Structure 1
Amino acid sequence: MKIAVIGGTGLIGSQVVTRLKAAGHDATPHSQSTGTDVISGKGLDEALAGAGTVVNLTNSPTFDEASAGFFRTSMDNLVAAAGRNGVRHFVVLSIVGVDQVPELDYYRAKVLQEDILKAGPVPYSIVRATQFMEFVDAILSWTTDGDTVRLPATPIQPIAAADVAAAVAEVAAGAPLGGVLDVAGPEVFALDELGRLTLRHRADARTVVTDPAAGMFGAVKGDVLTDRNARLAPTRYTDWLS
């Protein structure tokens, strides 16, 4: 099967392409570096020509209110190009609990992305994943002040990027779900405790202080970013750290 992976040179996209090729599919990565621009539309028809499936793994360059404009324009362009080129399956990667955090601009923008896909003419699948283990360092850096890291006790269920890529590749190679597949890591942590665990493992001298309002995840109310009924990935966080 010919599969176009838009955003196919990034953290998830590159692994998705590798997995699809290993399974015998004709998977091609497309990004700005290959001449494909989801905002201007440049190169989209060339990228999707002859593809049975398109996987969209592009992401907004910001997490603020501007992210809505990115997802609206990129999805409008991609959906239109998919329709013109006879694509039969459109896959998007989203976030577990994304529709439960309207306080966050970026999460509202991702819901918009999902809604545009659902309203379009191409059969679709949405893979929702929990927070990537690879992003924990960035989360710590957002709220670091000197030797102190402020984090809320928000429950999260971290998943390895490799496990996300495996799920996306599997869905891309199959029939459209016409719905959502949730994938999550095998363990739930309070974010502040996850921060302490990470710093201990790395012999990092910073101290985590629990602050319910700190950072982006301070806006999350309740246990909405985990899903114990999701498909659980095999990689545990301490194993990934090691």
Structure 2
Amino acid sequence: MSQTYLDEGRVMKFAVMGGTGLIGSQVVKNLNAAGHEAVPHSQSTGVDVISGQGVDEAVAGADVVVNLTNSPTFDEASPAFFQTSMDNLLAAAQKAGVGHFVILSIVGVDQVPELDYYRAKTLQEEILAAGPIPYSIVRATQFMEFMESVLSWTADSDTVRLPATPIQPIAAKDVAAAVAEVAAGTPLRGIRNIAGPEIFPLDELGRITLSHKGDDRPVVIDPTAGMFAAVKGDVLTDMDAHLAATRYADWLS
């Protein structure tokens, strides 16, 4: 397909896979509000990126595919999910003449090979970059919306155990805005990092979150606790990224 569809003023058609989820639903809303035609696709709409059911139909006629589907698990099964889903989506997108393919990934994802899920997301990036379609990768820091889940992994009725891993939380609405902006632009043929405006040790972020909820459990620093224990140094942060405006305290309130 020619790149003329990127000319300013032209209404573009977007197939947003995973378009009913936390980020996807907001990406669809943002693109449609900008005057484009963005259609959400997911298992609930009859599209299965693993079996391939409905994928060709979902991608047909699209200028841009935005793939926000995610592995149902974070374990050793996750690489197979991304391999199969990307193979199916790229084949369908190439057949349909799609001119731009966008995925959402994680800041520092290739620096944490100890984590199955991070290796899987790195594989997804590599498949896209090696594929036949002009592409963009948006890497985001950890979502503010996921903090409660992070706390629950290593909490009991008395204490919450967290490592002091540096985290730079970003609001989902800011992630969605960045993904929509990149998707509507010229393919990056590379990576754009986006991040929240502040860095916290994860244990401090835990204390702030619990205090806001009126939860008086103490947070104990435990360098072996939870998924982020595998992270070395500050690889999940990037103050040189495109920084979003929303601060964590403002998001909490």
- 1:175 aligns with 186
TM-score, reference length from structure 1: 0.99
Does residue 91 (structure 1) correspond to residue 102 (structure 2)? The answer is: yes
1:165 — aligned with what? 176
Instruction: Choose which of 22, 25, 32 in structure 1 pairs with 2:33.
Output: 22
Map residues 56-205 of structure 1 onto 2, 5 A cutoff: 56-205=67-216
Matched residue, 2:54: 43
Q: Which amino acid aligns with 2:33?
A: A
**Contact 1:101/1:220 (<8 A) preserved:** yes
Alpha-carbon distance, 1:145 to partner? 1.8
Of the structure 1 ranges 139-148 and 6-15, higher mean CA displacement relative to structure 2 is found in 139-148
Are 1:67 and 1:106, in contact at CA under 8 Å, matched by a contact in 2?
yes
The CA distance in 1 between the partners of 2:47 and 2:186, in whole Å, is 26
Q: CA RMSD in A?
A: 0.5
**2: CA distance between counterparts of 1:97 and 1:28?**
30
Alpha carbons 1:124, 1:179 under 8 Å: kept: yes
Give the CA deviation at 1:205. Answer: 2.2
Hey, what's the Cα distance between the residues in 2 that align with 1:40 and 1:212? 40
Q: What SS is found at the alignment partner of 1:182?
A: strand
Q: In 2, distance between residues paired with 1:147 and 1:139? A: 16
What secondary structure, in the 3-state scheme, does the structure 1 residue paired with 2:236 have?
coil
Q: TM-score, normalised by structure 2?
A: 0.95
Count of residue pairs the alignment pairs up: 242
Residue matched to 1:13: 24
Instruction: List 4+ stretches of structure 1 deviating above 4 A.
Output: none
**Gapped runs of 5+ residues in structure 1?**
none
Distance 1:118 1:62 in 2: 24
Q: Which runs of 5+ in 2 are unaligned?
A: 1-11
Return the letter of the residue paired with 1:94.
S
Q: Which amino acid aligns with 1:70?
A: F
Per-residue CA deviation, residues 83-136 of structure 1 (Å, 9 max, x unaligned), is 111000000000000000000000000000000001110000000000000000
Contact 1:147–1:205 (CA under 8 A) maintained in structure 2: no
